[in-house]
Homo-oligomer: A and B are copies of this chain.
Amino acid sequence: MMRTLFGVTFCVWAVMALTSLSAQQSTGAPAYTAEGKLVRPLDYRSWVFVTSGLGMTYGPAQPAGGQPPMFDNVFVTREAYAEFLRSGTWPDKTMFILEIRRAETNVSINNGGHTQGDVALIEAAVKDTTRFASTGGWGYFDFGGRDRLAESAAPLPSTARCYACHSSHTAVDNTFVQFYPELFAVAKAKGTVKATYDPNRKP
């Protein structure tokens, strides 16, 4: 009887601990509204960071004429990152967040270069070979800017520039892994860089 009680107590403890661990982990799966809009994830800053750039000349990070450069931070869901480390490929339901931030100068003790300021824009890319079958298995989403961030967003139309650019100029699948130094090394080692990828090709 004591052994059974101990067993039950231990089991309850184990399940509680398990539940607690699970609660700390984002499932990492994209969520949609009933209308098929992607729900903007609130926890993407705890996902895995893959790179940052400053003042890149294409896509949403491109500064408008005469405007200061912007930082672009890229985050990916943790489960997808783990799978990429294993296989060099993105599994279905992979989700990326592209976070564009203003670049600040002269903050606190910094006198040169740039540090990161407020969010300017948040965009997303989701791999779902069923849901986005008509656009190469990926959907792209624009949640807008800091002062008008949408809680959810419909996929951008297939005519949006992102679809063609991500299809033509990316090193692995529809993703710019050529800009993610650690993951590009993984893709090279796993042989998953696209045969069509040309590092010297410009649009």
- Residues of A at under 8 Å CB distance from B? 4, 7-8, 10-11, 14-15, 17-18, 21-22, 24-25, 45-46, 48-49, 51-58, 61, 69, 71, 73, 75, 78, 81-82, 101, 103, 107-119, 165, 169, 171, 176, 178-179, 181-182, 199, 201-203
Contacts and interface: CB of A to CB of B under 8 A. Distances in A.
Given A45-B48, A73-B52, A118 B181 contact: yes
A7 B24 CA distance: 26
* Copies of this chain held together in the complex: 2
A58 B109 contact: yes
Given A21-B18, A82-B24, A116 B49 contact: no
Contacts of A81: 46
Given A11-B10, A14-B11, A181 B109 contact: no
